[in-house]
Chains A and B, each alone.
Chain A
Amino acid sequence: MTNSREEILHTIRKGLNGVSSKQNFADGNFPDEAREIKQLTIEQRSKLRTQFISELKNVNTNVLEAHDEDEIKKALLKLVKEKKLESFSIWESQYLKELKIKEELKNAGLKLVTAKNKNRIAKSDIGITEVDYAIADTGTLVLLANKNQPRSVSLLPPIHLAIVQPENLASNIKDLFVILKSRLAEGDDITSCMTFITGPSRTADIELNLTLGVHGPKELFVIV
Chain B
Amino acid sequence: MGYHQIRFEKDSDKAIHNESLQKALVNVTDRFRSARNKASSKVSDWEELRTAARKIKKDTIANLDHYLVQLEESVKRAGGKVHWAKDADEASRIIVNIAKDGKVKSVVKSKSMATEEIELNSSFEQAAIKVVETDLGEYIIQLAGEHPSHIIAPAIHKTKDDISKLFSEKLGIPYYEKPEELTKVAREKLRSEFLSAGMGVSGANFAVAETGTIVVVENEGNARLTTTVPKIHVALVGIEKLIPRYEDLSLFLTILARSATGQKSSTYVSFITGPKREADIDGPEEFHLVLLDNGRSKILESEQTRESLYCIRCGACLNNCPVYRHVGGHSYGWVYSGPIGAIITPQLMGIDKAPELPFASSLCGACHDVCPVKIDFPKVLLELRKNVIESKEKNIRAGGAFLEKAGIKFWRFSVEHETIYKLLNKLSYYFQTPWKQSNGKLRSLPYPFSRWTDERDFPSVAKKTFRERWKELKDETG
Interface residues of A (CB under 8 A from B): 1, 4-5, 7-9, 11-16, 19-23, 25, 28, 30, 55, 59, 115-116, 118-119, 122, 135, 137-138, 140, 145-147, 150-152, 155-156, 173-174, 176-178, 180-181, 184, 189-209, 211, 213-217
User: Residues of B contacting A200 with CB < 8 Å?
Assistant: 267
User: Residues of B contacting A208 with CB < 8 Å?
Assistant: 27-28, 31, 153, 156
User: Residues of B contacting A146 with CB < 8 Å?
Assistant: 277, 279-280
User: Residues of A contacting B282 with CB < 8 Å?
Assistant: 115-116, 118, 145, 150-152
Known A-B contacts A147-B281, A201-B220, A214-B220; A9 and B179 likewise in contact (beta carbons under 8 Å):
no
User: Residues of B contacting A202 with CB < 8 Å?
Assistant: 219-220, 267
B86 at the interface (CB under 8 A from A): yes
A192 near B275 with CB under 8 A, answer yes
User: Residues of A contacting B386 with CB < 8 Å?
Assistant: none
**Which of A14, A174, A191, A213 interacts with B273 by CB under 8 Å?**
A191
B153 near A204 with CB under 8 A, answer yes
Known A-B contacts A12-B297, A20-B64, A207-B27; A4 and B84 likewise in contact (beta carbons under 8 Å):
yes
A155 near B225 with CB under 8 A, answer yes
Stretch at the interface among B181-189, B351-359, B401-409, B424-432: B181-189
- Interface bits B244-279 vs A (CB < 8 Å: 1, else 0): 111101110110000001011111111111111101
User: Residues of B contacting A137 with CB < 8 Å?
Assistant: 264
User: Residues of A contacting B347 with CB < 8 Å?
Assistant: none
A211 near B65 with CB under 8 A, answer no
A11 near B297 with CB under 8 A, answer yes
B17 at the interface (CB under 8 A from A): no
B211 at the interface (CB under 8 A from A): yes
B228 smallest CB distance to A (angstroms)? 5
Query: Among A1, A13, A207, which residue has the most Cβ atoms of chain B within 10 A?
Result: A207
B329 at the interface (CB under 8 A from A): no
Query: Among A19, A22, A203, A215, which residue has the most Cβ atoms of chain B within 10 A?
Result: A215
Interface residues of B in 286-318 (CB under 8 A from A): 291, 293, 297-301
B469 at the interface (CB under 8 A from A): no
B339 at the interface (CB under 8 A from A): no
Nearest opposing residue in chain B for A119, CB measure: B195
Known A-B contacts A201-B267, A208-B28; A192 and B274 likewise in contact (beta carbons under 8 Å):
yes
Interface residues of B (CB under 8 A from A): 24, 27-28, 31, 59, 62-70, 78, 83-86, 90, 94, 134-137, 140, 153-156, 158-160, 163, 179-180, 182-184, 186-187, 190-191, 194-195, 211, 213, 219-222, 224-225, 227-229, 239, 244-247, 249-251, 253-254, 261, 263-277, 279-283, 291, 293, 297-301
Known A-B contacts A140-B265, A173-B253, A190-B78; A205 and B155 likewise in contact (beta carbons under 8 Å):
yes
B244 near A25 with CB under 8 A, answer yes
Query: Among B222, B269, B271, which residue has the most Cβ atoms of chain A within 10 A?
Result: B271
User: Residues of B contacting A119 with CB < 8 Å?
Assistant: 195
Query: In the assembly, what is the distance between CA of A115 and CA of B221, in Å?
Result: 18
Q: Return 19 A-B CB contacts under 8 Å, by A number.
A: A118-B229, A122-B191, A147-B277, A147-B279, A173-B265, A180-B247, A190-B78, A190-B211, A192-B276, A192-B283, A193-B283, A198-B263, A199-B267, A204-B153, A206-B140, A207-B156, A209-B160, A214-B219, A215-B194
A20 near B62 with CB under 8 A, answer yes
A193 near B222 with CB under 8 A, answer no
A216 near B268 with CB under 8 A, answer yes
User: Residues of A contacting B184 with CB < 8 Å?
Assistant: 213
**Which of A28, A118, A193, A216 interacts with B272 by CB under 8 Å?**
A193
Nearest opposing residue in chain A for B70, CB measure: A22
A160 smallest CB distance to B (angstroms)? 10
User: Residues of B contacting A216 with CB < 8 Å?
Assistant: 220-221, 224-225, 267-268
**Which of B84, B219, B281 interacts with A1 by CB under 8 Å?**
B84
Query: In the assembly, what is the distance between CA of A22 and CA of B159, in Å?
Result: 49
Nearest opposing residue in chain B for A174, CB measure: B250
A152 near B228 with CB under 8 A, answer yes
B268 near A21 with CB under 8 A, answer no
Query: In the assembly, what is the distance between CA of A152 and CA of B191, in Å?
Result: 13
Q: Taking A135-B265, A208-B153 as given, write out 9 further A-B residue pairs in contact, using a Cβ cutoff of 8 Å, ordered by the A residue number.
A: A146-B279, A190-B78, A192-B283, A195-B268, A205-B155, A207-B179, A213-B183, A215-B134, A216-B225
A8 near B279 with CB under 8 A, answer no
User: Residues of A contacting B279 with CB < 8 Å?
Assistant: 146-147
Known A-B contacts A176-B250, A196-B268; A214 and B84 likewise in contact (beta carbons under 8 Å):
no
A1 near B83 with CB under 8 A, answer yes
B186 near A214 with CB under 8 A, answer yes
Query: In the assembly, what is the distance between CA of A213 and CA of B219, in Å?
Result: 10
Query: In the assembly, what is the distance between CA of A184 and CA of B78, in Å?
Result: 13
User: Residues of B contacting A140 with CB < 8 Å?
Assistant: 265
Known A-B contacts A8-B86, A205-B154; A16 and B273 likewise in contact (beta carbons under 8 Å):
no
Nearest opposing residue in chain A for B270, CB measure: A195
Nearest opposing residue in chain A for B269, CB measure: A196
A178 smallest CB distance to B (angstroms)? 7
**Which of B136, B180, B244 interacts with A23 by CB under 8 Å?**
B244
B267 near A173 with CB under 8 A, answer no
A206 near B182 with CB under 8 A, answer yes
Nearest opposing residue in chain A for B80, CB measure: A192
A177 near B297 with CB under 8 A, answer no
Known A-B contacts A192-B277, A211-B179; A11 and B298 likewise in contact (beta carbons under 8 Å):
yes
